Amino acid sequence: MLRIKKLFSIFVIAGLLSSAFSQEAKNALLIANGDYSEIKSLSQPVPEGEELKTALESIGFSVMFVKNANRNEMFASLREFKNKVEKEGGISFFHYGGHAVQVHGENYLIPVNEKIIDEEQIPDSSVELNRVMDFMVGESNVVVLDSCRNDPFPNGKHRGGDSRGLAAVSRKPKNSIIVYSAEAGETAQDGVYTPALTKRITEKGASLTRVLMKVRNDVFLQTQEKQLPGEYVQLLAPIYLAGKPESENSSENYSFLGFISVSVITPCAVYIDDEYKSDIGEFGSSVFNVPVGRHKVKVIYDDKKTEEREILVKESDTEKVEFNYLSDAEKESCYNKGKNYFYGKNNAVQNYERAVYYYRLAAEAGYADAQYSLGLCYDNGYGVEKDKKLALSWYLKSAENGNVTAMLNAGICYEDNGEFFTAEEWYNKAKKSGYKDIQKDIDRIEKKIKEAQEARKKNDFQDFLNTQIKRTGFSIGLVDFRYCRNAEFFPDNGFFIGAWPCMAYWGPFPNFFIGASLEWLSLIPKSSSFVGFLGANYTISDFVNLYVLGGYGYGVMWETDNAQIIRAGIGADFVGWSGFTFTAEYSLDFYFDLGFMDRFFVGLGYTFGR
């Protein structure tokens, strides 16, 4: 009789379980890979898989659990799982814990004991996620991937692929929901998602979307808002893993929820749709459950300033709202936090990156000292890549807000850039604002300005010669009258050669020049002439220049009286190395007292420009 009662009790319990969970078949395949030999091993997937297996079995799932599988074993288990689901139908649930990578937008699950030398081997040595989708043939399909980790391969084995997380899903089974432990392109922390899922998955009467929404909230809070799971939903009907709700009027059926995550810097009170929710402290955040739809989020800060945002919340989604307002007290607080991290004071470990983070918050809010400090970081490469332009930009903002040291540094930046007048302006502003010991900087920049002005004059003159002057230079040589007409006026032809004739010419305009020649014949002062002239030149090449000229002057030829001279001539310049020039010229001079005289001139000189 006792035995009959025990059997009856077993049948009653079985009946209760049958009524508690849907009669539809529920099959699950869990693959947990952690014992990798060629890449970093993982300690969490197997024990987490064991706990998830227990939880699924408690709500009526038939579970296949595969541990540390190679590629063949993974495909064998997928085929066996597919055959079972094809026969029984119902819910098909797949969970993978282990390494996975994306290569050129495709996701691959990494088996254990596969020696992958190069990225090209990954498709043939792993299991493509799209292939997994082909094995999901249930009436409802659930795929969970807790594998969104950084690239596990050593340098060189996965060169061209992406290093963060997994790519978005490209193939989805019918009536399915696919879950990543972190959003596409992001990485997940180990030991977070699967335990959170295991904790929630046995909730009776809750749809899978409701369960995953709670899991998402748990993960989001546990990781301090650094990890947000991603879901890809193509459901045609709700999925209930632990059984449908007992009543059609259950809250599960009439309310769809989402989340609003509010983050602030300045302490405030949070209102959603004008209903007070909670206070949030400095650099704090809170997550609130809300019905799907549009909501107004308002914050009232301690200094009574208010801000509002309107957002749309979708089912199971978490909408982030960030309020970055800084009160005057928070500006100073951020600046002080930055100083603590910069110098490693007040129990803060020196960290330039964190210092820059806090400096930037205060600087962008207009706090002058923080703007100067951020400029200093860019100027010297503390916590950021060195950038002189950004440094100057922040110095100027700080200087405009009255920071005297920023005025000095702005002046130094301009001085380093060679902008001496602007540098002098900022040095004088710093002096007027009370900066001590600035006079040495002013004296230095004034000296540089004077030197620059002198150099500029020289450079301007040289530029003028090189760019505007077409024929400018001088020549010293010999002039010969021995073969000229009217030579009978001279008693001895041997004295007709000029020993110190010279000629200078200046061309302020293209192809035209003015000049003068001065000549002494046979070193006798009574035999000399001075002629000024105008000319035109034509440049044949960089080395040859032809010219004609006409002039007027006075001269004394031997013992004759001083006479007026009219000159017409033609010549050529032959320019050589570094502007040194050989000049040959013939001219016909008309002396009012003597008549026409032929003149031949050759000389060496220098040409400044042509």
**Residue 367 maps to a domain:** yes
Residue 464's pLDDT band (boundaries 50, 70, 90)? low
* Residue 12 pLDDT > 50: no
Give the pLDDT mean for 555-560.
Answer: 69
Average pLDDT over residues 273-297: 88
136 in a domain, yes or no?
Answer: yes
Q: Distance (Å, rounded) from C-alpha 401 to C-alpha 433?
A: 12
Is 15 contained in some domain? Answer: yes
CATH number (domain holding residue 314) = 2.60.40.10
What percent of the chain clears pLDDT 70, i.e. is strictly above it?
83
Is 60 contained in some domain? yes
Q: What is the mean pLDDT of residues 19-43?
A: 81
Please give the Cα distance from 28 to 50 (Å, whole number): 13
Asked whether residue 1 is assigned to any structural domain, the reply reads: no
CATH for 538: 2.40.160.20
Last residue of a domain, one of 463, 489, 518: 463
Q: Which amino acid is at 378?
A: Y
106-127: b or e for each residue (b if 16 or more CB lie within 10 Å)?
bbbbbbbebebeebeebeebbb
Q: Is residue 310 part of a domain?
A: yes
- Nearest CA to 51 out of 201, 207, 204, 221 is that of 201
Whether the predicted pLDDT of 161 surpasses 50:
no
Last residue of a domain, which of 411, 434, 463? 463
Burial class, 420, CB count within 10 angstroms (exposed 0-12 / middle 13-18 / buried 19+): buried
Ordered strands of the 100-103 beta sheet: 100-103, 106-109, 127-128
Give the lowest-confidence range in 147-156, 168-177, 182-191, 470-479.
Answer: 147-156
Instruction: Indicate if 422 and 564 belong to the same structural domain.
Output: no
Which residues form the domain of 388? 328-463
Residues 479 and 603 in one domain: yes
Residue 93 clears pLDDT 90, i.e. is over it: yes
- Same domain? For 480 and 557 the reply is yes
Residue 194 shares a structural domain with residue 277: no
Helices and strands (H, E) in the chain, number of each type: 15, 25
What is the C-alpha to C-alpha distance for residues 506 and 461, in angstroms, rounded to an integer?
Answer: 13
Which of 230, 253, 276 delimits the end of a domain?
Answer: 253
pLDDT band at 478 (very low <50, low <70, confident <90, very high): confident
Sequence letter at residue 40: K
Q: In angstroms, rounded to a whole number, what is the distance separating the alpha carbons of residues 133 and 65?
A: 18
The answer on 274 and 232 residing in a single domain is no
Average pLDDT over residues 580-603: 85
The amino acid sitting at 597 is M
Range among 150-154, 250-254, 259-263 rated most confident: 259-263
Q: Is the pLDDT of residue 173 over 90?
A: no
Q: Is 2 inside a domain boundary?
A: no
| Number of domains present in the structure of the chain | 4
Q: Which pair of structure tokens corresponds to residue 380?
A: 């010297």
Same domain, 306 and 381: no
> What pLDDT, on a 0 to 100 scale, did the predictor assign at position 227?
86
Letter string b/e over residues 477-508, b meaning 16 or more CB atoms within 10 A of that residue's CB? bebbbeebeeeebbeeeebbebeebbbebbbe
Half-sphere exposure in the Cβ direction for 233 (13 Å, CA): 17
Evaluate if residue 5 carries a pLDDT over 50.
no
Q: pLDDT tens digits, residue range 54-92?
A: 999 999 999 999 999 999 999 999 999 999 999 999 999
> Would you call 165 helix, strand, or coil by DSSP?
coil
Mean pLDDT of 510-518: 83
The two beta strands, 275-280 and 268-272, are: antiparallel
> How many whole angstroms separate alpha carbon 309 and alpha carbon 260?
11
C-alpha of 527 from chain center? 79
> What pLDDT, on a 0 to 100 scale, did the predictor assign at position 92?
96
**Angstrom distance (rounded) from CA 43 to CA 33:** 9
Strand order in the sheet with 230-234: 62-67, 26-32, 91-97, 140-146, 176-180, 230-234
Residues 497 and 458 in one domain: no
Within this chain, do residues 485 and 509 fall inside the same structural domain, yes or no? yes
Mean pLDDT over each residue of the chain, to the nearest integer: 82
In a domain, 263, yes or no: yes
Given a contact cutoff of 8 angstroms between Cβ atoms, the answer to whether 323 and 264 are in contact is: yes
Q: Do 512 and 419 have their domain in common?
A: no
